[in-house]
């Protein structure tokens, strides 16, 4: 089924997380993308007049799956999550791996395995809506810390996300963009698109406005973590011709920043 329109309701929760409720009007189904704060999700769903039917977890961290059981108890929803972390996902009903799909009414999410931040991290790509829910795999001007995987694994995951259509909207899980921008300009100071983006971010945050979602094409031009295959950035990082080493250098610098 084509031309399915989804209503995506975004709201802040916890310290710097975003909550997302995705509503498919034909079926009346609503997916919670991760569950950092069960009560906030339930109250926001109630405010919108929606009932949560799905939980779509990207990875096991408590600020992504910690509200699962409370929401499931309240709504009877079905919990979907990464097969590689099924033992850590509270209340999981359906374990997902790359190539699987999840139906939300007439909309279909395709599963991408994007390990690195955690070993089983997945993303939900809805190609007909040019939308991807990417959890902590990638952020506006950033990417997740490599906690469980390897630098090579993380770069491969980012490369997979880089190959999505450039108009794809990336719904990441945190408002980290301003801090990411401050770092990004230290490794890519001559990137005019990045300089302009950083200025826009400062203006948005000064007004208390969100900087996500972000479009992939904007990130491809400005996000240093996605640009580790750029020869100029490789040379600047001292790893000409080596995207993985360049990515590792940028990630290590950010960890110390």
Domain that holds residue 237: 6-256
* Burial of residue 163, with CB atoms counted within 10 A of its CB: 0-12 exposed, 13-18 middle, 19 or more buried: exposed
Q: CA-to-CA distance for 132 and 157, rounded, in angstroms?
A: 14
Q: Does the residue 1 lie in any domain?
A: no
CATH assignment of the domain containing 107? 3.60.15.10
Task: Specify the 3-state DSSP secondary structure of 150.
Answer: coil
Catalytic positions are 59, 61, 63-64, 117, 136, 174
In the beta sheet, which residues pair with residue 32?
21, 55
Phi-psi bin for 249: left (phi > 0), alpha (psi -120 to 50), beta? alpha
Q: For residue 129, what are the contacts with CB-CB under 8 A and spacing of at least 6?
A: 4, 5, 6, 107
CA 220 to chain CA mean position, Å: 15
Cβ-based neighbours of 127, under 8 Å, separated by 6 or more = 110, 165
* pLDDT of amino acid 4: 79
The total number of structural domains in the chain stands at 1
Bridge partner list, 19 = 11
Looking at residue 5, its pLDDT comes to: 84
Residue 98 falls inside a structural domain? yes
Q: Cβ(203)–Cβ(125) under 8 Å? A: no
- Residue 76 belongs to a domain: yes
Q: What is the pLDDT of residue 3?
A: 67
Per-position b or e across 166-201, b if 16+ CB within 10 A of its CB: eebbbbbbbbbbbbbbebbbebbeebeebbebbeeb
Tokens of 255: 């960890």
Q: What's the average pLDDT block by block, 10 residues per block, for the chain (257 residues)?
A: 81 95 97 98 98 98 97 98 98 98 97 98 97 98 97 98 98 97 97 97 96 98 98 97 98 96
CA nearest neighbour of 43 among 24, 19, 8: 19
Q: Which residue has the tokens 């698109």?
A: 193
Specify the pLDDT at position 2: 54
Q: Which residues pair with 95 in a beta bridge?
A: 81
Rounded-to-integer distance, Cα 176 and Cα 180, Å: 6
| Alpha-carbon torsion angle 87, 91, 96, 102, nearest 10 | -170
Task: Choose among 121, 111, 105, 92: nearest CA to 31.
Answer: 105
How far is residue 12's CA from residue 26's CA, in Å, rounded to a whole number? 27
Name the strand (E) or helix (H) holding 187. Answer: helix 177-187
Identify any residues that bridge with 187 across adjacent strands, giving them in sequence order: none
What predicted TM-score, i.e. pTM, was given to this entire model? 0.97
Residue appearing with tokens 């491809």: 220
């Amino acid at each position: 089924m084509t031309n399915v329109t989804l209503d995506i309701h975004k709201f802040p929760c916890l310290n710097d997380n975003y909550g997302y409720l995705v509503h498919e009007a034909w079926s009346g189904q609503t997916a919670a993308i991760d569950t950092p704060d069960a009560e906030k999700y339930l109250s926001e769903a109630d405010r919108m007049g929606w009932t949560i039917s799905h939980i779509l977890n990207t990875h096991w961290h408590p600020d992504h799956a910690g509200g699962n059981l409370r929401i499931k108890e309240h709504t009877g929803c079905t919990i979907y999550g990464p097969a590689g972390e099924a033992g850590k996902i509270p209340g999981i009903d359906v374990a997902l791996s790359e190539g699987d799909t999840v139906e939300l009414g007439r909309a279909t999410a395709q599963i991408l395995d994007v390990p690195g931040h955690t070993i089983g991290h997945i993303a939900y790509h809805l190609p007909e809506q040019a939308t991807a829910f990417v959890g902590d795999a990638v952020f506006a001007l950033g990417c997740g810390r490599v906690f469980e995987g390897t630098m090579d694994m993380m770069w491969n995951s980012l490369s997979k996300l880089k190959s999505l259509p450039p108009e794809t909207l990336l719904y990441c899980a945190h408002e980290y963009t301003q801090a990411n921008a401050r770092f990004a300009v230290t490794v890519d100071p001559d990137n005019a698109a990045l300089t302009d983006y950083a200025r826009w971010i400062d203006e948005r945050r000064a007004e208390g406005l969100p900087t996500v979602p972000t479009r992939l094409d904007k990130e491809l031009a400005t996000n240093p973590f996605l640009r580790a295959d750029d020869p100029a950035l490789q040379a600047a990082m001292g790893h000409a011709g080596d995207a993985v080493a360049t990515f590792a250098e940028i990630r290590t610098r950010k960890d110390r920043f």
